[in-house]
A and B are shown apart, each in its own frame.
Chain A
Amino acid sequence: MTFYHPQALLFKHKYMNSPERQFNALTPDPEKKDASNAPEVIIEKTPIAETETDVVYLGVTLEKSKSGDDQFVPKREQYADFINDKEVALPLQRDIAIAFLSGEPLLVDGGTSLGKTTTVRKMAAELGWEIHYANLNGATDVEDLMGRYIPNPHKSKPEDPEYIFADGKVTSGLRQEEGKTKIVILDEFNASAPNILIRLHEVLDALERGGDVILSEDASEAVPVNKERTKIIALMNPPGKGYFGREPLDPAQLRRWVYKKLPSELPESTFSYSTDALFGAEPTSQNVTPDMFIRTREGSLTPEQLPEIPGLIEVLEKYKEFHKAAKELLKNRKVAEDQPQAFTFDDRMEPRRVRDFVLRFYTGDINETFQQALRYYYSNKLENKADRDMFEELIRVVEYKPTVVPSRRKGIEAGPERNTEEIISESFEIAEKITKKMEQFLTEGSVSKNSIALGLTGVGTAAAMEMRKQFLTEGSVSKNSIALGLTGVGTAAAMEMRKQFLTEGSVPKNTIAFSLAGVGTAAAMEMRKQFLTEGSVSKNSIVLGLTGVGTAAAMEMRKQFLTDGVSKNYIALGLTGVGTAVAMEMRKQFLTDGGVSKNSIALGLAGVGTAAAMEMRKQLLTEGSVDKNYIARSLAGVGTAAAMEMRKQLLTEGSVDKNYIARSLAGANNKESFEFRENNFNSDDELYLKSFITESVEIDAIICRYGFEGDMSKT
């Protein structure tokens, strides 16, 4: 029996787009570990994770050396009390790891108390890599670094040479040895004599080329070098600022380096945490936020694969604008005004580095990867938080906003894959059907106008807006109902109507905030920010109104709320319908850190049918830490085979209220869901009917995730 209840139309948004992401053959869903041909995506739970073969620094994996112990490898026990704070130590290790992975020379500029050298040595101890240390302060002799002829200490026979060439500190780090990876530390780099800098830059150029370093000190011996095996890191204290003898480097010399600016002093919060950690009042590793992680892939893309990345062209155009703006800000000293060490954003080097970063780290979300690259190569050069914030605003603009994004999820939309045109067409069709149905109800007078207004939830068609306006003119429907019925609609007309309500003061601002659920447009984010600035809407309401919005800006707002002390329960609930990797990571972090009801986590999974979400549900079930009814409710709108299986299991166990199972099917109107209805609720008309009507949270999830969001207005 196949039965389509009229209400089903309201929830039959199954073919709508998922606004957060899109995939193609090159970019399989990173949350689906079993996706064929998918590069393995590694997301670490702990800031620094270690296996037998690797160490992962906030997601950046470095391979341990296989050569074993060596006098140049620092001893691990020396770093037993190393404090991994989240503001300096952990990001520094991540950024060093990125440089090591990319083979780029890194120049770290920061105060002496930050532990720059210790951090590098600690990483080397973990990785089993050698350290070759050269302090350039007061060093004037290039030969100390590159090598010189010395009397042969082993001469025992007349035919033995009188003199032999002996490597310097740097040369010994450049020599390739089986199974060894070497780090050359150039400490106090900006206290170096000019002749030494010139020679070292020749070494850097050779490493970049992947060729030989020619030892003029040894009859032009050619030493093959390999940036995979030799990592160069220069450290310096800020010029001036109480550091005697440190002069600013010529900015032109800096272009060879990836330049990272650290604070001149330990930030107050880090000082406080580190001190507590030293005394055992805090753990030695601080909790971090998911956005601090870099997602890495196995192997790199090839340059030929780049054009296949969806949205790349759009992002590139915005990147060019960003680069120009960054240069302009720097040139006019709008940023880095108080940094004594001048630097540039190089027109050739920076784009090349960003390109290589994308090749190395792209895992399916071009916006995320590109923005991380810009933070690494641009923001990292800035010390001042205000400067970084300014850049962050610019970086967020460098994104690809798909007009219509075909979701390939096998969640709600089980069925043959369709192209974008088909989806758009069907979206309109559904919206039209719903509108027509509501018009029919209106003509018949069989349903109250308030219900009709609510029934228009998620529908942003011109006809639907007309109907709303008519209700307003007649005064026949409560404005609250109209406002709530705007949930999930992000068109300009809908935003205009909300603004009108706000101006009139006719609808509580909390209601307006709720009605923004599922709308992630810039205008909606602006309205939320305005509420926050005014203090007119509670943060709890704002965060619940973020339901279904998984954009970077929305995630940022959630993080800010976390910092502000908003209850994790609200944030977890506000994540409903958001299945991005970042959102899943936030949920995992909540579970790890505690301070949140697992029922809230479960409910917040409503509408998310990814493998990772199913895994989390299973974990919660296995732990027995959550009311199973909440798991049932969390399945709302998810029509995957795995979700069906879970429903079946819950029903068989008899451990949940059947009403929740039934209602969780609303919105999941695929073949499997109808089979499920027939197999389980065929003899119970009431339950069968309920399977098309959700609870409010679930409705939000479905509408927001699959409903007529901002994208619809663009189409």
Chain B
Amino acid sequence: MSHTSNPKSIEEFLFVIQGGKEVGLVIAKDDEEFASFAKVMEGFDFKRSENIAGLFKSPKTYFVITGDVDKDVYDFIVQYPTGQVEIFDKKLMRSQTLSPDYKNSAIVLLVDKDNLNKIQEKGFDLLSSTGPAFQA
């Protein structure tokens, strides 16, 4: 469940979430802040991932959530704390299972407020499914 933390800065937040058992959530209030957060994350060696499978390819990754977020992303978030993630490729109809390495990794979702609201309204409760959250 999401706990909106109040670290002094996103830098501090990115440090805090490492080794956590849940996906972190960074909420930007507008495009400008969104770009700024993305830049900071890149600076902290967080690699942007374009798909779910890519989230496991680097110890520190982030994923940009848009309003038409794929259901796979939601499935990933809710499974991540459970010790095993099953990713299902609908095109190939094939499952891939992954075991999160909690100690040595950090995964962050970056979303702006508008998109977050849209997603919540769709019934994908990101705020409850993610762990620590940050907003400036």
Contacts and interface: CB of A to CB of B under 8 A. Distances in A.
Of the four ranges (under 10, 10 to 19, 20 to 34, 35 or more), the interface on chain B belongs to: 20 to 34
A507 B12 CA distance: 73
A112 B1 contact: yes
A135 B74 contact: yes
A131 B122 contact: no
Interface residues of A, number: 38
Contacts of A118: 81-83
A227 interface: no
Interface stretch (B36-44, B51-59, B95-103, B107-115): B95-103
Nearest to B78: A135
B8 interface: no
Nearest to A148: B93
Contacts of B93: 147-148, 150, 166-168
A187 B1 CA distance: 16
B75 to A, nearest CB: 5
Interface string B81-97: 11110101011111111
A115 B124 CA distance: 18
B94 to A, nearest CB: 7
Contacts of B125: 243-244
A115 B81 CA distance: 9
A505 interface: no
Contact of A135 (B75, B81, B83, B122): B75
Contact of B79 (A115, A117, A144, A191): A117
A139 B84 contact: no
Contacts of A138: 71, 74, 122-124
B124 A137 contact: yes
A74 interface: yes
B128 interface: yes
A322 B96 CA distance: 48
B86 A131 contact: yes
A125 B122 contact: no
Nearest to B123: A245
A131 B100 CA distance: 15
B6 interface: no
B3 to A, nearest CB: 11
B83 A75 contact: yes
A169 B1 CA distance: 26
Nearest to A165: B93
A676 interface: no
Nearest to B86: A133
B78 A187 contact: yes
A471 to B, nearest CB: 71
A78 B75 contact: no
Given A135-B74, A191-B123, A121 B84 contact: yes
Given A117-B79, A135-B74, A187-B78, A78 B99 contact: yes
B120 interface: yes
Interface in A143-158: 144, 147-148, 150, 153
A563 interface: no
A36 interface: no
A635 to B, nearest CB: 52
Contacts of A121: 82-84
Contacts of B75: 133, 135
A305 interface: no
Nearest to A111: B1
B68 to A, nearest CB: 12
Contacts of B100: 78
B90 A144 contact: yes
A16 B127 CA distance: 66
Given A113-B1, A144-B88, A172-B95, A74 B123 contact: no
A132 B86 contact: yes
Interface string A632-644: 0000000000000
Interface string A165-201: 0111100100000000000000110010000000000
Interface in B114-133: 120-125, 128-129
A531 interface: no
A122 B83 contact: yes
A428 interface: no
Interface of B: 1, 71, 74-75, 78-79, 81-84, 86, 88, 90-97, 99-100, 102, 120-125, 128-129
10 contacts: A74-B84, A112-B129, A115-B82, A118-B82, A138-B74, A138-B124, A150-B91, A150-B92, A188-B78, A243-B125
8 smallest CB-CB distances across A and B, nearest first, come from A78-B83, A166-B93, A245-B123, A74-B84, A118-B82, A133-B86, A117-B82, A75-B99
Given A133-B75, A166-B92, A169-B95, 19 more contacts: A71-B97, A72-B97, A74-B99, A78-B100, A78-B102, A112-B1, A118-B83, A121-B82, A121-B83, A133-B79, A135-B71, A135-B75, A135-B79, A137-B71, A137-B123, A141-B90, A147-B93, A150-B92, A169-B86
